[in-house]
């Protein structure tokens, strides 16, 4: 049992765009917040940023996240680089989050928990081109890169078949690579697919060729043929980082995502889930929007004022020495932030 127990109003697990946006809101809305992040994650894999208005394409995921971490810390949030191993409800209704079982591993107590732990993409076997240079994990982000280019889609399930057909909106050269695996899409999808100009290639990939710029140029197949590709999409499913949600008893949807309401509230009171861990489009603006919704909802629940009539009748009127309802730490941070802006 650790001696290092740190108390917050809000504990966010996961420091991707969803979790960092939640923390931005809860901190600026006066709630002591900690973000615990293992590092990595899907946003950190981005070589370029697409679809985020106001952010230019040359910004990498790592740069975007670094700026976001600095922002929340300026407002007074704490950022801890650590993996949260377990979470449980305490007798007083709060949540205890543990980062390990050793003496030096900090633990955290919080009134609200936000799970922003995302998912990992299932990777097919190599040979594969580098991510962002021929291997692409996000259709809505990267389909635009392949207008009039030869592309592949890899996989044998429903999503692979559908993404192959969807890519015909961008290019007339689409191959679906099953790599010798058994086809799993339905008969109806098969009928639909074969009525579209998508070539199904069953041979497995034997080797890959890259250009001097690091981009994929094509695959050599086991039968010795070579096909040119600029890039493509592996479609093998998502492994949701939902261990903490399961420990808390949060309901999950059939596809493995955590079930949430409009503000990201899960089936367990006091626990929220946002971003790629939940259903919906896996996009940074969506993750940020969900983070914002959850952050504002948590503020509605945790803010001190106004007191209700029932509270006033039970506890008396609010006296001047009870306000403002913000911690000393966040008050200081806000003053420093304002002073820095005045320079
Ligand atoms: C290669 C690639 C390129 C993409 N390009 C774009 C793009 O250009 N534009 C766009 O809008 N979207 C893009 N996306 C999608 C976008 O990255 C995701 O939708 C977005 O990152 C989701 O944010 P998130 O915060 O939910 O999850 P993530 O960004 O995956 O962050 C989750 C974080 O939680 C941490 N974590 C998990 N479990 C724990 C734990 N137990 N304890 C502590 N930390 C934990 C992880 O380490 C990770 O840091 C891309 C995705 C990929 C894979």
What is the predicted pLDDT for the residue at 245?
98
Neighbours of 202 (CB within 10 A): 15
Distance 46 CA to ligand 1 centre (A): 9
Ligand 1 touching residue 294 (CB < 6 A): no
Is 139-234 the same fold as 5-120+238-303?
Answer: yes
Q: Domain ranges for the chain, please list them.
A: 5-120+238-303, 139-234
Distances in Å between the alpha carbon of 289 and those of 185, 280, 281?
33, 12, 11
Q: Domain 5-120+238-303 carries which CATH code?
A: 3.50.50.60
Ligand 1 touching residue 43 (CB < 6 A): yes
Distance 276 CA to ligand 1 centre (A): 7
What is the predicted pLDDT for the residue at 3?
73
What is the predicted pLDDT for the residue at 82?
95
Ligand 1 touching residue 76 (CB < 6 A): no
What is the predicted pLDDT for the residue at 341?
82
Yes or no: say if 33 and 25 are a contact pair by the CB < 8 Å rule: no
pLDDT in tens, the chain (343 residues): 667 899 999 999 999 999 999 999 999 999 999 999 999 999 999 999 999 999 999 999 999 999 999 999 999 999 999 999 999 999 999 999 999 767 778 999 999 999 999 999 999 999 999 999 999 999 999 999 999 999 999 999 999 999 999 999 999 999 999 999 999 999 999 999 999 999 999 999 999 999 999 999 999 999 999 999 999 999 999 999 999 999 999 999 999 999 999 999 999 999 999 999 999 999 999 999 999 999 999 999 999 999 999 999 999 999 999 999 999 999 999 999 999 986 6
Pick the CATH number of 139-234 from 3.50.50.60, 3.40.50.1580, 3.40.190.10, 3.40.30.10: 3.50.50.60
Q: At how many degrees (to 10) do helices 187-194 and 158-166 cross?
A: 20
Measure the CA angle with vertex 114, ends 113 and 120; round to 5°: 130
CA distance 164 to 25: 39
What is the predicted pLDDT for the residue at 104?
78
* Residue 279: strand, helix, or coil: coil
Global pTM? Answer: 0.96
What is the predicted pLDDT for the residue at 2?
67
Ligand 1 touching residue 146 (CB < 6 A): no
What is the predicted pLDDT for the residue at 165?
98
Yes or no: say if 102 and 1 are a contact pair by the CB < 8 Å rule: no
Contact residues for 109 (Cβ-Cβ < 8 A; gap 6+): 5, 6, 7, 8, 90, 94, 95, 96, 97
What is the predicted pLDDT for the residue at 103?
73
What is the predicted pLDDT for the residue at 1?
62
Yes or no: say if 23 and 31 are a contact pair by the CB < 8 Å rule: no
């Amino acid at each position: 049992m650790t001696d290092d127990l740190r108390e917050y109003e809000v504990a966010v697990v996961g420091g991707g765009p969803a979790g960092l946006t939640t923390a931005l809101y809860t901190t600026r809305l006066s709630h002591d917040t900690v973000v615990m992040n293992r590092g990595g994650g899907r946003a950190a894999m981005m070589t370029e940023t697409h679809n985020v208005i106001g952010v230019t394409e040359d910004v990498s995921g790592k740069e975007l996240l670094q700026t976001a971490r600095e922002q929340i810390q300026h407002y007074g949030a704490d950022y801890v680089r650590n993996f949260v191993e377990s979470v449980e409800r305490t007798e007083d209704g709060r949540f205890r989050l543990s980062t390990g079982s050793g003496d030096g591993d900090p633990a955290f107590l919080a009134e609200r928990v936000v799970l922003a732990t995302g998912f990992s993409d299932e990777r097919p076997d190599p040979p594969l081109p580098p991510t962002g240079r021929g291997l692409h994990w996000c259709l809505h982000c990267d389909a635009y890169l392949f207008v009039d280019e030869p592309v592949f889609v890899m996989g044998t399930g429903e999503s692979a078949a559908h993404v192959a057909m969807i890519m015909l909106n961008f290019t007339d050269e689409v191959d679906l690579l099953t790599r010798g695996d058994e086809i799993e899409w339905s008969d109806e999808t098969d009928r639909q697919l074969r009525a579209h100009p998508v070539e199904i290639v069953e041979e497995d990939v034997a080797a890959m060729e890259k250009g001097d710029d690091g981009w994929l140029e094509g695959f050599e197949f086991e039968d010795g043929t070579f096909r040119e590709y600029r890039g493509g999409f592996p479609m093998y499913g998502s492994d949701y980082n939902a261990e903490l949600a399961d420990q808390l008893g949060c309901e999950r949807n059939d596809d493995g995502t955590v079930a949430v309401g409009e503000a990201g509230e899960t089936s367990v009171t006091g626990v929220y889930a946002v971003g790629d861990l939940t259903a919906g489009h896996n996009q940074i603006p969506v993750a940020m929007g969900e983070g914002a919704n959850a952050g504002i909802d948590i503020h509605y629940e945790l803010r001190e004022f106004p007191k209700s009539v029932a509270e006033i009748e039970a506890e008396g009127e609010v006296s001047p020495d009870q306000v403002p309802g913000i911690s000393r730490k966040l008050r200081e941070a806000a003053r420093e932030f304002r002073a820095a802006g005045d320079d």
